[in-house]
């Protein structure tokens, strides 16, 4: 039960800067997801909150107290690791008991707490087993139980699901979210999987190369991306990004013509999500291309087109059938087109046009 703040935090390893000037305010009981590709500094950020790494500059504040000088074991945070990190020589019961023992919680209270934590993750029948005798999903749940058993101020989870298979991952995802809501403990969750981020987070922090690119709710990140990096990272399949030129309210690229706000010009990248495109049989369309590939997923069919040098993905009707190489025209939802500066990647927003001074 604590608010976490990072103030101007920097982490350097020799001449390499892992995290640069990071400011982050995590509300009490919030579920915050740090999302980014590997090497973006998300795990380092989490380890600084845990006290396993020391920031080179700046302050880490947990529950109103600057904890830079506080050792990891005194921070009252519980962490779940990618590799589970269960103690191999101890039974699951002893594993869950370990943090209670370390914190001097009386023997009399231990048993009830351990059984409650094990029940929460449905491991009640496995307490006598050693970690080696459990499946991956069970080990992950044992690691969760060890984290929840002592009701810490903060939960930290470092890619906890990345070693599980896809099916198990989605069921564990729901369990983690349920557990967090039930216990109301501030949680920081690191992942490179955007679906995990979207489904779990109250807010997502997207990082790249040690810098925060955008902070927002999943909906904000999805519908209002700040730059091409965020736009390309969120969504499956990701947003189509087409480089071209804009002049006099028209954006043009090979095979593509679209209306754009009149104050945007120069080298521009247009972005549109596959789900905001539709196949047009007759009538006006923004894009013309040839069918490059068709991927039915059951729920829908993804159509990949080739226009000029770029591949462009469109979400089509579930029963849509196309021949390879056939010409197809695509229309965009005009409300859902994004423009970015090609040079910097920054999102360009139309100036409010009718804003009479």
Binding site for other proteins (CB under 8 A): 47, 50-52, 71-75, 77-79, 81-90, 98-99, 102-103, 130-134, 136, 139, 146, 156, 163
Nearer to other proteins, 75 or 203 (CB): 75
Contact (Cβ atoms closer than 8 angstroms) between residue 42 and residue 207: yes
Question: What is the closest distance, in whole angstroms, from the C-beta atom of residue 301 to other proteins in the complex?
Answer: 35
Supply 331's token pair. Answer: 């229309």
Supply 179's token pair. Answer: 């557990």
Question: What is the closest distance, in whole angstroms, from the C-beta atom of residue 186 to other proteins in the complex?
Answer: 15
Question: What is the closest distance, in whole angstroms, from the C-beta atom of residue 101 to other proteins in the complex?
Answer: 8
Nearer to other proteins, 128 or 295 (CB): 128
What does 95-144 look like in DSSP terms, one character per residue? HHHHHHHHTT--HHHHHHHHHHHHHHTT-GGGTTS-GGGS-HHHHHHHHH
Nearer to other proteins, 60 or 348 (CB): 60
Contact (Cβ atoms closer than 8 angstroms) between residue 243 and residue 252: no
Contact (Cβ atoms closer than 8 angstroms) between residue 159 and residue 82: yes
Question: What is the closest distance, in whole angstroms, from the C-beta atom of residue 45 to other proteins in the complex?
Answer: 15
Nearer to other proteins, 26 or 157 (CB): 157
In this structure, the number of other CB atoms found within 10 A of the CB of residue 334 comes to: 12
Nearer to other proteins, 102 or 311 (CB): 102
Supply 55's token pair. Answer: 């920031």
Question: What is the closest distance, in whole angstroms, from the C-beta atom of residue 70 to other proteins in the complex?
Answer: 12
Whether the ω angle into residue 237 lies within 30 degrees of 0, i.e. cis, is yes
Question: What is the closest distance, in whole angstroms, from the C-beta atom of residue 178 to other proteins in the complex?
Answer: 23
Nearer to other proteins, 86 or 253 (CB): 86
Nearer to other proteins, 131 or 210 (CB): 131
Q: Edge-to-edge, what's the strand order for the sheet holding 211-216?
A: 77-80, 154-158, 186-191, 31-35, 203-208, 211-216
Strands 154-158 and 77-80: parallel
Strands 250-253 and 256-259: antiparallel
Nearer to other proteins, 103 or 245 (CB): 103
Question: What is the closest distance, in whole angstroms, from the C-beta atom of residue 54 to other proteins in the complex?
Answer: 12
Q: CA-CA distance, 200 to 33, in Å (whole number)?
A: 8
Q: Name residues whose C-beta falls within 8 Å of residue 37's C-beta, 6 or more positions apart in sequence.
A: 192, 208, 233
Question: What is the closest distance, in whole angstroms, from the C-beta atom of residue 30 to other proteins in the complex?
Answer: 20
């Amino acid at each position: 039960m604590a608010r976490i703040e990072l103030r101007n935090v920097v982490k350097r390893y020799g001449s390499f800067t892992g995290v640069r000037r990071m400011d982050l305010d995590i509300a009490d009981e919030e579920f915050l997801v740090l999302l980014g590709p590997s090497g973006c500094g998300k795990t380092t950020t989490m380890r600084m909150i845990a006290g396993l790494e020391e920031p080179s500059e700046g302050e880490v504040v947990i529950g109103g107290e600057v904890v830079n000088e506080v050792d990891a074991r005194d921070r009252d945070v519980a962490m779940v690791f990618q590799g589970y990190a269960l103690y191999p020589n101890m039974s699951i019961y002893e594993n869950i008991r370990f943090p209670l023992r370390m914190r001097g919680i009386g023997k009399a209270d231990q048993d009830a707490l351990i059984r409650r934590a094990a029940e929460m993750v449905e491991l009640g029948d496995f307490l006598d087993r050693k970690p080696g005798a459990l499946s991956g999903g069970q080990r992950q749940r044992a690691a969760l139980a060890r984290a929840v058993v002592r009701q810490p101020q903060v939960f930290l989870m470092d890619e906890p699901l990345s070693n599980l298979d896809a099916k198990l991952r989605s069921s564990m995802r729901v369990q983690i979210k349920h557990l967090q809501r039930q216990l109301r403990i501030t949680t920081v969750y690191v992942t490179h999987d955007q679906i995990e981020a979207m489904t779990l987070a109250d807010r997502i922090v997207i990082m790249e190369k040690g810098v925060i690119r955008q902070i927002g709710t999943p909906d904000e990140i999805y519908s209002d991306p700040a730059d091409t990096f965020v736009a390309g990272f969120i969504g499956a399949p990701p947003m189509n990004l087409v480089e071209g030129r804009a002049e006099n309210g028209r954006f043009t690229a090979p095979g593509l013509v679209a209306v754009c706000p009149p104050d945007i010009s120069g080298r521009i990248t247009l972005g549109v999500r596959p789900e905001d495109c539709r196949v047009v049989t007759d009538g006006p369309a923004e894009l013309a291309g040839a069918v490059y590939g068709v991927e039915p997923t059951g729920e829908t069919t993804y159509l990949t087109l080739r226009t000029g040098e770029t591949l462009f993905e469109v979400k089509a009707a579930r029963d849509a059938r196309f021949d390879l190489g056939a010409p197809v025209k695509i229309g965009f939802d005009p409300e859902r087109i994004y423009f970015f500066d090609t040079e910097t990647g920054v999102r360009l927003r139309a100036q409010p046009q009718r804003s009479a001074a």
